[in-house]
Structure 1
Amino acid sequence: MGDRKPSLVLEPGTVIKPVIDHEEVKLLVERLYGISVLELTELNGYDDKNYKIIEDPNVKNPLIVNHSPYGYVLKIMNSMDSQNLGVVEAQNEIMNYLTTRSVTCPKPVRNVFGHLYSLEIISGKRHAVRLLEYVPGELLKDVPRSEALFYQLGEFVANLDNKLQNFNHSGLVEREHIWMLSKVPDLDNFKYVIKDAEKLDLAEEVIEEYKYAVVPRLEELEKGVIHGDVNEMNIIVGLKPGENKTDYRVTGIIDFGDIQYSYYVFELAISMTYMMLLTGDLRTAGIVLAGYTVNRRLPDDEYRLLKTLISARLVQSLILGAYTIEQDPNNTYVTSTEKANGWELLRRIRKTKPNPEGDDTDWKTIATEYLTRS
């Protein structure tokens, strides 16, 4: 194994996002991939920088044999994750693995040196740089929502996890990242960013519950490689030819920056959390659960952890989102749905505002009723 590296986990005050302007990006793409850029668009990114690139068709590039008809995405990884090249290699391999198993996702492109990534010095820091084929379609966040779409998402996530059961990579064995759901206890180091006393009390309650309800049970849960960040900005949807303009279907998944060796129930909890944040409706999670359990069995003891895990993901998102805004006030990725209604959803899940119409966090019953009427 050689010398083990120390754990790489974000600490308060650390700036890890790449600092680069558009002209430097164009020069980088031309030097590493031989591509002359016709159009350059910056995409959302939390800690990384992502750019959609359309190549100039008038400039021949013999270095790329199979040109992507929809363009490319240049990914410049943050300086912390770039220290763990095993994770970079695992991300490339997982995309190739899923592509060969009929899952639509980005495909890595080799650079002029024949490699799937390179390490570049950008503004004095080392960053891993990759080029991926762009996946066409629309983001789930941008299309009309329906119960059928959330049900399909659940099916898709379960199918993804089923296929990943046979994927392993040594680069993920010791990976640690502050956004991993297993790192919820570490939020104690960041909770100072929550200035409102009531919100802080709520966050602390959830963190403590996670410590006593989840941590002692971790060894009992089924483990494997998971995507780790199934949200409305990472799911690609599309219409079949001739279909109703509101009848979208899940077609693919992007952004493998959070892949990890973790617990399958974490994948489900994260997916349920983000779909609730998107709709503002707690019952949405039950529809996702319905689709998931059709393709993948969930043991009763894991069902019982869902409320704590979903609460923990909300707290994680709210605390780390507030921390990121403190460090980078212009980060538009963070000022999204989760900040608009995350605290309100958390209050409702924790029952500080009872619902007179019944328990809309009884997701198992909601899933069963949906399956029955479908």
Structure 2
Amino acid sequence: MLEKKPKFSVDQASDILKRLYDVTTSKINPLPSYDDQNFYVLSTNGKEYVLKIMNSEDSQNPSLIELQTYAMSFLHENGIPAQTATPTVTGQLMSLEELDCGCGQQKYLVRLLSYLPGQTISKVPLTPQILFEAGKMAAKMDKVLQKMDHPNIRELDRDGFIWSLSNLLVLEKYLYVLDGEPLQKVVQSVINLYKLTIVPKYTHFRKCINHGDFNDLNVLVQPDNNGCYTISGILDFGDMNSGFYIHELAITIMYMMIEHPNPIEVGGAVWRDGRVNYLSMKPRGQPVRAGHVPLLSVSSFCSLFCSYAARERGVSDDNVRKGVQILQDIWTLGQQHVETIWFQSAEKYCASK
């Protein structure tokens, strides 16, 4: 079986840049990526870019990648710090290249994206202020995306996509990978509770387009003049899907919890000023309880674990180790207790504003 992740050398990447974009490199370095291959590029004229070479599997769906590229541009035009694509010398925003990078001849979608300054949020202390900024940015991003239209918009329905919280029940077919693990019973309990309390509420949640992967490595921050941090970039739109505002909130909380020394405290800070955006209901609908958020957050952990165990996606061992402990802690404390902690901390943060 051919390996789907590209493994191009720096020289090969430089050749691609020159041939497709007429960019001559002054400096080029590999950047981390789970499934794709990224290079930091400094051109001889001083411009900075990121060369992104998609894995061969995702490259088979150019319609989805085209939509993701458009979404990034749409967000950028509406004040969200997202990357934009540089056209090739023939005016295309992406190019499907059939190349051999040591894994056999395969097709890879190539884009040259703008470079965003900053460091990942995982590198800075997760103060209540930056957690609030993360929650606020996630909500703002989803509100902007709700206005977006595109001929390929239905690509975001993504039935069966394991990283969409709308498809959480798909995880049941992956439970076998946790055979013999105590975690399996917890994951099954989460799925059962999701069926009982979340699925019947679908019609009352506000729909939107989710980024779906608002994690600690996809959020860039920069220091401001007040000794705090502001969000300077949102990366990686590969998990975009049709979902709900409350899903984005839960995913954001889940990933911020992994990086925080006191994970249970994270929830209230992230959603303190986002409640109107996240928890609003349809006219004459039933209220969406804040208690749904802890359940959806632990549901996100379940997606992480099942994907890791099934090797569906590169997930770090450290994130899984931390995630297992957080999930067990939340499950032990109980959903209502965690809800109370988050609600009280949100009220405290709001009062301090």
Secondary structure of 1:283's partner? helix
Match of 1:366 in 2: 345
Q: Does 1:95 align with 2:69?
A: no
Counterparts of 1:137 and 1:102, CA distance in 2: 17
Q: Distance in 1 between matches of 2:17 and 2:175?
A: 39
Residue in structure 2 matching 1:263, options 237, 244, 258:
244
Aligned mates of 2:162, 2:12 — CA distance in 1? 29
Q: Find the partner of 2:9 among 21, 30, 52.
A: 21
Amino acid aligned to 1:80: E
Cα RMSD of the aligned pairs, angstroms, is: 2.6
The residue type paired with residue 294 of structure 2 is: K
Q: Give the SS at the match of 1:127.
A: strand
Distance (Å, rounded) in 1 between the aligned partners of 2:166 and 2:41: 35
CA drift at 1:213? 2.8
| Match in the other structure for 1:8 | none
2:197 corresponds to: 213
2-structure distance, mates of 1:112, 1:130: 12
Which residue identity does 1:82 align to in structure 2?
S
TM-score normalised by structure 1 residue count: 0.82
Cα distance between partner residues in 2 of 1:354 and 1:225? 30
Residue of structure 2 in register with 1:239 after alignment = 223
Secondary structure at 1:45's aligned position in 2?
A: coil
Say if 1:162 and 1:296, in contact at 8 Å, map to a contact too.
no
Q: Which residue of 2 aligns with 1:153?
A: 134
Q: Which residue of 1 aligns with 2:81?
A: 104
* Selected match of 1:290 from 251, 272, 278: 272
Per-residue deviation at 1:237?
0.9
Unaligned runs of 5+ in 1: 1-12, 58-66
For 2:243, give the aligned amino acid: S
1:180 matches 2:164: yes
Secondary structure of 1:231 counterpart: coil
- After TM superposition, list the pairs within 5 Å mapping 1:1-374 onto structure 2: 16-57=4-45, 68=47, 71-122=48-99, 123-175=104-156, 176=158, 177-240=161-224, 242-244=225-227, 247-280=228-261, 281-293=263-275, 298-299=280-281, 300-301=287-288, 303-324=290-311, 334-335=315-316, 337-351=318-332, 359-362=337-340, 363-374=342-353
Q: 1:128 to 1:302 in 2, by over 3 A?
A: farther
Kindly indicate whether the alpha-carbon contact (under 8 Å) linking 2:39 and 2:51 is maintained by their aligned counterparts in 1. Answer: yes
Secondary structure of 1:149 counterpart: helix
CA distance in 1, matches of 2:164, 2:279: 23
For residues 84 and 36 of structure 2, the distance between their equivalents in structure 1, rounded to whole angstroms, comes to 18
- Name the SS of the counterpart of 2:143 in structure 1: helix
Quick one: which amino acid aligns to residue 312 of structure 1?
S
Secondary structure in 2 matching 1:350: helix
1:167/1:225 contact within 8 Å kept: no
3-state secondary structure, aligned to 1:301: coil
SS at match of 2:30: strand
Q: Which residue of 1 aligns with 2:284?
A: none
Confirm or deny: 8 A CA contact 2:294 2:338 kept in the other structure: no
Higher helix share: 2
Alpha-carbon shift at residue 361 of structure 1 (Å): 4.0
Q: Provide Cα deviations, 1:332-353, integer angstroms capped at 9, x if missing partner.
A: xx226522310111011112x6
Contact 2:291-2:339 at 8 Å conserved across structures: no
Q: 1:318 is aligned with what amino acid?
A: F
Residue-pair matches, total: 339
Amino acid at match of 1:252: G
Query: Is residue 246–residue 279 contact of structure 2 (8 Å, CA) maintained in 1?
Result: no
Calculate percent identity across the aligned residue pairs.
28
Offset, 1:296: 5.4
Unpaired stretches in structure 2, ≥5 consecutive residues: 282-286
